[in-house]
Chains A and B, each alone.
Chain A
Amino acid sequence: EAQVTQNPRYLITVTGKKLTVTCSQNMNHEYMSWYRQDPGLGLRQIYYSMNVEVTDKGDVPEGYKVSRKEKRNFPLILESPSPNQTSLYFCASSPRGYNEQFFGPGTRLTVL
């Protein structure tokens, strides 16, 4: 089944403890992106990647890192999480130049 998967789906952690949220797609898409969803703010882009080894900042990149070593994977790294990073995170992918993005199921992160 063609899909975008994220792990973990739920995570509770403490301030400063490094964590990684994985994102994987099996559709051979070039473009991948991370968003955070917050009440009243909608979805805001954190980072995106237009292909392997090509990443760029979105609108809210502070406190996050990403890597794109393989086409299918686009992990989101929080080196030192803080409570203001408590949010619902979505990964998405699409073929380059294609107008529909396919979203993962979301990861709910709580930083205490």
Chain B
Amino acid sequence: AQRVTQPEKLLSVFKGAPVELKCNYSYSGSPELFWYVQYSRQRLQLLLRHISRESIKGFTADLNKGETSFHLKKPFAQEEDSAMYYCALRDGGTDKLIFGTGTRLQVFP
């Protein structure tokens, strides 16, 4: 079954600390994975897609097929990173996005 698991509901860190938001997936084919972010009172927006191998706002995510993981990392958290983060898996046949339950990141000054 296709599934995305984000084990942490809340992650709290101090400014400047490293951050890792965990995401594990279950998918039978070749996965397409994304991180979406939702800042307070704003719409969801794409942060990262694994195929781009890019770094956005200092965040990176590497697809590990062996561990079926796509963890989101940032070496030095900033207060403006406080938001809800969703890991998502795309079903290539239907364009459906399967979301995890989300992790709220709180960065304290």
- Give chain A's interface residues, CB within 8 Å of chain B: 31, 33, 35, 40-45, 48, 50, 56, 58, 90, 92, 94, 96-97, 99-101, 103-106
Contact = CB atoms under 8 A, between A and B. Distances in A.
Interface of B: 6, 9, 32, 34, 42-46, 49, 51, 86, 90, 94-102
A42 B101 contact: yes
A98 to B, nearest CB: 8
Contact of A42 (B34, B43, B45, B86): B86
A45 B97 contact: yes
B51 A42 contact: no
A101 B100 CA distance: 16
Contacts of A56: 94
B43 A50 contact: no
Contacts of B49: 99-100
Contacts of B96: 33, 45, 48, 58
A99 B34 contact: yes
A58 B96 CA distance: 8
